[in-house]
Amino acid sequence: MENEDLTGVFAKTIEENEFMKMMGLEAIEVRRGYAKCRIKMDKKFCNPYGTLHGGMLYSLADITAGFAACSYGPKAVTVDGDLHFLNPAIRTEYVYCEAKEQRRGNDLSVFGVEIMNDRDKILDTGTFTYFNIH
């Protein structure tokens, strides 16, 4: 089913993963080739400048795109990730990440990601590539 809602499946993945739980990750929407997740701004994840640490943003992007990659089957692993930090994550309750399929091949899949604040301002953009495990 092309637009099957898989959000519940990935919410269970979060419940079973200590790192994702520590991040406070929430799966908002997951369907074939698409995922949207969010994390709550928390000062324990901020850098010395009071903005969300780049490592948290990268993890959010990688996991969200990974959910989109895994939406076709049980497993996909990151081959490459590129994230451009355009604006600081500050003065927002949540930080959102949206991953959209750009290309799906037999072995590799590519996803574009955008990270946004509560006001839909783009904070980061990137591209993540995954190896599809058959």
| Domain at 7-132: CATH architecture | Roll (3.10)
Q: Give the pair of three-digit tokens for residue 56.
A: 């948290």
Q: Give the pair of three-digit tokens for residue 15.
A: 């419940």
Q: pLDDT tens across 79-94, in order?
A: 999 999 999 999 999 9
Query: What is the pTM assigned to this prediction?
Result: 0.95
Q: pLDDT tens across 25-73, in order?
A: 999 999 999 999 999 999 999 999 999 999 999 999 999 999 999 998 8
Give Cα 59 to chain centroid, integer Å.
7
How do the domains of the chain map onto residue ranges?
7-132
54, 60, 61, 66: CA torsion to nearest 10: 140
